[in-house]
Amino acid sequence: MHHAYFLRFRLERATWGVVAVFLFIFVFSAAQAQNTTSFNALKDTIEQKKDSIERIKREIGTYEQSIRLRQAQAASLSNQILILNDQIQRLELSVRATEEEIETVGLEITETERLITERERALLLKRAELAAGIRNLWQREQAGDLDILLAYDTVSDYFNDLENVEQLQAHVGDTVREFERLRKDAELTHETLTAKQQELETLRAELDTQQFNLSSQRTVKAQVLVDTRRSETQYQKQLRQAKQEQAAAEAEVVSVEKKLRETIKEGARLERLRALGAPNFTWPIASRTITAYFHDPDYPYRYVFEHPAIDIATKQGTPVRAAAGGYVAKAKGVCNGYAYVMIIHDQGYATVYGHLSKVSVKDDDFVEQGQIIGLSGGMPRTCGSGNLTTGPHLHFEVRREGLPMNPLDYL
């Protein structure tokens, strides 16, 4: 009889252990309900931010439409100033939108971190619940059916307990499945957090680019006003000079490349060029911040020429490296004009590196990929910058058979 009483005590203790776990879960669920209110407030804030971003983007669209309409009109000083004003307003709105997006992603990261904490707590609870259920079943399995029957006062109590055991077994199965679901949710939430953190870094880089572009547009506007002294006659004169300078630079690049390719059709230089192999272009500087794209519709000097390159933002004096091995067709280092280096590569390719403040190679040199060929420039009115520049950057072209190509298709 003493054995039956002790066995019954063990069974009841195991059952109360499960009850205690469920009571703990109930208390935790009440605390979780309070956290839900905080989650909802955070979600409301995120939605408000997203609505604000959408409103700003609609404003940006209005300015973009205005810019396109003005660009289709005849070039005049008043029209150019209006275009610059619209571009500045649009960039200011873009900066605001990106700042809002950064704040939104920051809030989403906070929300995701809270979700991770909640799901980790839920996993701990499910683990405890699962352990208690399995322990109860194990203790029952240690006793024989006859011992368990003798532990109860009536057969009815025994059968009630059997029914409870079946329910407990079913609950343990459900708990295992719920535990696995929560574990997978936790993994996905961690992946979401990593993606949001990467998105935040991308947005911060984008903001830096937008702020750089905004500064450049303001510089262009100020430069136009100073150079023209608000005179339409002076503006038209400057426009002609700018077009002539660009046309001369383009003609020089095309002529030099054509002439040199004819010259090196055979002989040691051709063999050495071919020995370097097909070019596999790499970035000429470490920066990946592009401030003007190939044939960029927003290029500030588009009224003068179509932009045949990408402009990569970088500090004045940054080492510029050959994007691929090749033959230096032109190394033009000047202080009172546009300084550049053109390298001819195998299979009809050539690269041009413009606005250099210093040129470190000379005509007829062979260079290896990654070799320093000069220092970047572009700061207005500094050595090698030329007239058509808005700030420190590298002008980088890729050409094939004499025609400008989009460098991003090759990098």
The whole-number average pLDDT for the span 139-166 is 56
pLDDT band at residue 374 under the 50/70/90 scheme: very high
For 1-35, the pLDDT digits (tens) are 444 444 444 445 445 444 454 554 444 554 455 55
3-state DSSP helix/strand/coil % of the chain, to nearest 5: 65, 15, 25
Superfamily of domain 231-409: Glucose Permease (Domain IIA) (2.70.70.10)
For 67-119, the pLDDT digits (tens) are 778 777 767 778 878 888 888 888 888 888 988 988 888 888 888 888 777 77
Q: What is the pLDDT of residue 2?
A: 45
Q: What is the pLDDT of residue 407?
A: 96
Residue 60 parent element (H or E): helix 2-71
Which residues does 104 contact at the CB level (< 8 Å), separation at least 6? 46, 49, 50, 53
The answer on pLDDT for 397 being more than 50 is yes
On whether the CB atoms of residues 329 and 262 are closer than 8 A, the answer is: no
Phi-psi region of 339 (alpha: psi -120 to 50; beta: other; left: phi over 0): beta
Q: Which residue has the tokens 């905080």?
A: 38
Q: Which of 391, 240, 367 is nearest to 313 (CA)?
A: 391
Q: What is the pLDDT of residue 345?
A: 94
Is this prediction's pTM over 0.85?
A: no
> CA–CA separation, 220 vs 225, rounded Å?
9
Strand partners, 351: 343, 398
- Chain-centre distance for alpha carbon 353: 26
The answer on pLDDT for 145 being more than 60 is no
pLDDT band at residue 264 under the 50/70/90 scheme: confident
CA-based R_g, the chain, Å:
36
> CA–CA separation, 1 vs 7, rounded Å?
10
Residue extent(s) of CATH 2.70.70.10 domains in the chain:
231-409
